[in-house]
Structure 1
Amino acid sequence: MYLCPIVIAFLCVGQLYGHLHGECYKDVAKTVKPVSRCPHTAEEHAEAAQKMACDQKTNQCPEFEYQCLVNPFFNGTLEGCGPVIQIFHNACAEFNIHNGSGVIQGSQSKERECQKCPPVYPSNNSYMYQECYDHVKRPTESDPTKKNGTLLSTTLMVTRQPTIPTENKEDKSWTDVTMAVIIMIPGCLVFGIAFMVIKRQCRANGTPVNQSESEEESVGLA
């Protein structure tokens, strides 16, 4: 009997979290655009953030911060707004735009790791690690992405990516743990409140809550 409210609560919280997560990705994609150069200093980062005004844009993300990151192909840089993601294992943070959704994640490229990056750092601090931008090789006249004398935009090249790279197993495990905690905390609160309400109702009706209380009352009567 007690499992039904718990299961319903978990399903509702999980569905709400998934919906908001998906809507957040869409909001991120709407803000991302190619930029020829990312900020190199805290002052430049603050100036760029002020121009983009992420805090004034409508979104359904837990936080919406200005970020300037590489694209998955390391042939351009993109700036936009999005949640701050923890980047692991000396990876460069990247914007990955696909089918109208924008994901911020650690790059899967082992050839373009950031040796000077700390083991873990927030994605919006990418400007502090210029090594990631140094890996960027922008298209040239002889590049196959050049068509009819015009270079394809970096945004277009990202959106044409067939699949979004998956996270490292270690990164994914941390993400799974975070999601589990986010979902479990409200569920535990709902369970605790429901249990207390049921317990008080049982006592008010004179119904033992469990066998141990029944035994205690029997001993008292004896």
Structure 2
Amino acid sequence: MEYAFVFLKGVLLIHISKNDFLVNAGGCNASLATVSVVNRCPRNEEEWTTAAERKNCGNIKHNCVFIQYHCVMNTWRNKTIEVCAQAENIVGKVCAEFNIGGARIQRNGNGVHCDSCPISYNSTKSFKYQECYLKVKTTLSTKLQVTTNSLDIDFTTHRENLDTVNATSNIEHSSSNIEEGDVNTITIFAVCVVICLLLFILLTLKWRSTIWTTLSGIFRKALPASENDSLKQTLETEV
């Protein structure tokens, strides 16, 4: 009985170890800590090299054989991610993806066919097949992109309309200021004319008697007495 128990325990341990090996075959748990979501992946070898240097996978501590920079879709095809992982050979004209559960790079087995991909290629060369990244955007990001573009167009139109209204308002305000200035100028001029006329009339009334008196004195000295009396009467009558 005891031997049977030991045998069953051994079989169970072998079974667990076998399953664990299958799950982690080709995987590297250290890769999980390097996963980061990016807006897009490199589009050529130069960008790929720059991104790989920035990611610096060579300094990641791990117990795996060899990990390298990758930029691929995830298994749900809703994100593009950068990760330091072991390279895999992708077979069957399909895209490469990173399986977080298995912590490994693998071929996409969900019908994401890649026309531009060769029959077999190394996963570190994924940048050569931009079709795979476009599939991520096409399947899940198109609606978001269209909405963003619509918002941009609406905002631009609103801003142009606002600029037009402001320009029209400024023109009308300027015209109003000009008309108001003309009215003010005419009013001031009219007031000045009226004041001048009033002053002229007042001065004329005030100095009229003095002027006539002075003139009568002059003529009275220059003319004979009889003519002076006649002039006096005339001047008095005028006054």
TM-score, normalised via structure 2 length: 0.48
Deviations 1:75-107 (A, max 9, x none): 110101011100010110001212xx5221000
What SS does structure 1 have at the residue aligned with 2:105? strand
In proportion to residue count, which structure has more helix?
Answer: 2
Change (3 A) 1:90 1:41: same
1:34 aligns to 2:34 (yes or no): no
Give me the whole-angstrom Cα distance separating, in 2, the residues matched to 1:60 and 1:24: 11
Which aligned pairs between 1:153-192 and structure 2 lie closer than 5 A? none
In proportion to residue count, which structure has more strand?
Answer: 1
Shift of 1:68: 0.1
Count how many residue pairs are aligned between Structure 1 and Structure 2: 127
Aligned CA-pair RMSD = 2.9
What is the percent sequence identity of the aligned residues?
Answer: 34
Shift of 1:108: 1.0
Give me the whole-angstrom Cα distance separating, in 1, the residues matched to 2:27 and 2:130: 27
1:69 aligns to 2:72 (yes or no): yes
Which moves more between the two structures, 78-87 or 21-30? Answer: 21-30
Deviations 1:116-146 (A, max 9, x none): 111010111100100101101345778xxxx
Shift of 1:109: 2.0
TM-score, normalised via structure 1 length: 0.51
Give me the whole-angstrom Cα distance separating, in 1, the residues matched to 2:103 and 2:21: 15
Relative contact order, higher structure (CA 8 A, sep 6+): 1
CA contact (8 A) 1:23 1:60 kept: no
Structure number with bigger Rg: 2
Change (3 A) 1:117 1:58: same
Q: Which runs of 5+ in 1 are unaligned?
A: 1-10, 143-222
Shift of 1:25: 2.3
1:104 aligns to 2:105 (yes or no): yes
Give me the whole-angstrom Cα distance separating, in 2, the residues matched to 1:23 and 1:30: 17
Shift of 1:24: 5.0
Paired AA for residue 118 in structure 1: P
What SS does structure 1 have at the residue aligned with 2:103? strand
Match for 1:50 among 43, 50, 53? 53
What SS does structure 2 have at the residue aligned with 1:61? coil
